[in-house]
Amino acid sequence: MQKIEKLFDINNLLMTLFSSLESIGNHKKVELIYDMQATIPRELRGDSAVLLRLLSKMLTFVFQNTDKNEIVLALGAPEDFLYEELMSFKIKETNIAKEKILEYLETNLSKDLEILEGNIIYEKDSDIHLDIPFKINELGYRRHYRLPDVSMLGKKVLLIGSSEKIAQSITKMFKYFLYDVDVGFDAFKSQGNDLTPYDILIVEDKLNTEEFEHIIAGVQQSIPLKYVLLKDSHILEGKTISVSTNLIKPVTEESIYELIVSLFNNGTSQREKKSQNLKNIVDLEKVLQPTKNDLNEKKISLDSVPGVNLNTIIETKKGHDLVILDRELGKENTKKMGLKYANELKNFIDTFDHSDIYFRQIVNEKATNKIKDFCIDLEKHARLIGASSMLKLADIVSLIFVYDKLDMLPIYPGKYHLELQKLIKEIKKDLRIK
């Protein structure tokens, strides 16, 4: 069989791979993370279709059999990628028996590996290690991502998130552009809780609040700090106060390149000299991860103000009549993500039809973690398809957790049952299902 050598962008392939695995990843609660060495060329020559098929089969097997909630696919290449070199694809810490993995690889991937002229590498350090040869498109180039202006290099980043593996991956990608990255609250504390030295602040979306955005907006009055949300998807949301842009998972080297260009390609990318005396002190750990006592104090203070408590907020939200299915919004959301609206409507039915029974069960069991996870999934899918009324209901249930008013939960299985019936009826109209 003649070897195919077509030009392809490794980042595009990885994004396609992620999309193909998103459904099973959501179902199994497994997140795929890419860890890319800076030595990997942006453009390669080879059989991308077979590579995509091979990686998709391999990761589907891992997702189906692992008990981990994060799987890191590490891509590596030699320091000098001269012409044709071996690229490595490794996965560690799957908690799957090594014998089971090797049996699967040898039985199910052997034909694709033969087409790609790749090999299974048997080693103790990785659960899976494949070496596959690819050719470089541009000979003689060692830097595969070139920023438009040298002033975009060498800036300072503060990254706050909940996943150590994602943080390590993003840090490595920023270092390609000579960026200095501090990760986590402890690293920030060592800088005196001062945001002044930083050019970019990246915060995981679920930690962000409107209150925090106001704090950052105040900081941005004195320093040109770019505030970036690390998000799970391109789903459109309302206007933000201080957010410069979003960084969408899964993150690749191309993602970081595009982020830098979008933030600093405006003619003012040269770092401004900052006063030694200027400080912008913010206790990020307190405002982004308040303790239970802080939350209780906040709830007490809010409840003590006439007209500002959970019941009032819920009544206010109830007062907003929202459409059951905003099709135009849903189509806009799915288009931005490269998805088909009809497919996502069907996906919603496949995922949530009869889920009212499950919701009632976990509420009766007072399984708070399961309820939280369910609400997160429901919010994500409802927002994507434009199910505005359902999104409001999920938002109200989330507020119950924020205010620690779990005694209010028992009335919501019935509300969810009615809302779900109405939404599925609307979806079936679009899909012409009786």
How far is it, in rounded angstroms, from Cα 360 to Cα 416?
9
Residues 58 and 128 in one domain: yes
How far is it, in rounded angstroms, from Cα 90 to Cα 71?
10
Total number of domains constituting the chain: 3
What is the Cβ-side half-sphere exposure of residue 161, based on CA atoms within 13 angstroms?
26
Residues 47 and 81 in one domain: yes
Residues 158 and 177 in one domain: yes
pLDDT confidence of residue 82? 80
pLDDT confidence of residue 277? 64
pLDDT confidence of residue 394? 83
The answer to whether residue 230 is domain-embedded is: yes
The answer to whether residue 145 is domain-embedded is: no
Residues 214 and 282 in one domain: yes
Residues 22 and 120 in one domain: yes
Q: 260 lies in which domain range? A: 152-287
Residues 298 and 281 in one domain: no
Residues 63 and 127 in one domain: yes
Query: Where a domain ends, among 76, 105, 136?
Result: 136
Looking at per-residue pLDDT, the higher value among 38 and 204 belongs to 204
The answer to whether residue 1 is domain-embedded is: no
Backbone phi and psi for residue 274, each to the nearest 5 degrees, phi listed first? -105, 140
AA identity, residue 3: K
pLDDT digits (tens, 9 = 90+) for 314-327: 554 454 567 899 99
The answer to whether residue 98 is domain-embedded is: yes
The answer to whether residue 146 is domain-embedded is: no
Query: Where a domain ends, among 256, 287, 318?
Result: 287
AA identity, residue 245: T
Q: Which helix (H) or strand (E) holds 309?
A: none
pLDDT confidence of residue 184? 94
- Give 297's pLDDT tier (boundaries 50, 70, 90): very low
What mean pLDDT value characterizes the chain? 85
The answer to whether residue 337 is domain-embedded is: yes
Residue 335 burial (CB count, 10 A): 12
Alpha-carbon distances, residue 180 vs 219, 305, 341 (angstroms): 20, 44, 40
**The two structure tokens encoding residue 349:** 């039915």
Distance, CA of 194 to chain centre: 27
- Is the confidence at residue 292, as pLDDT, over 60? no
How far is it, in rounded angstroms, from Cα 393 to Cα 415?
8
pLDDT confidence of residue 391? 86
Domain harbouring 108, CATH code = 3.30.565.10
How far is it, in rounded angstroms, from Cα 137 to Cα 9?
10
Q: What is the pTM of this model?
A: 0.68
Residues 256 and 126 in one domain: no
The answer to whether residue 144 is domain-embedded is: no
Residues 250 and 203 in one domain: yes
Query: Where a domain ends, among 258, 287, 316?
Result: 287
Backbone phi and psi for residue 141, each to the nearest 5 degrees, phi listed first? -100, 125
Contact 253, 173 (CB under 8 A): yes
Domain harbouring 251, CATH code = 3.40.50.2300
How far is it, in rounded angstroms, from Cα 185 to Cα 193?
9
Indicate the angle between helix axes 327-336 and 341-352, nearest 10 degrees: 100
Residues 273 and 314 in one domain: no
How far is it, in rounded angstroms, from Cα 219 to Cα 279?
10
The answer to whether residue 143 is domain-embedded is: no
Residues 283 and 316 in one domain: no
Residues 265 and 329 in one domain: no
Give Cβ neighbours of residue 374 (< 8 Å, ≥ 6 apart). Answer: 355, 358, 359, 362
Contact 201, 227 (CB under 8 A): yes
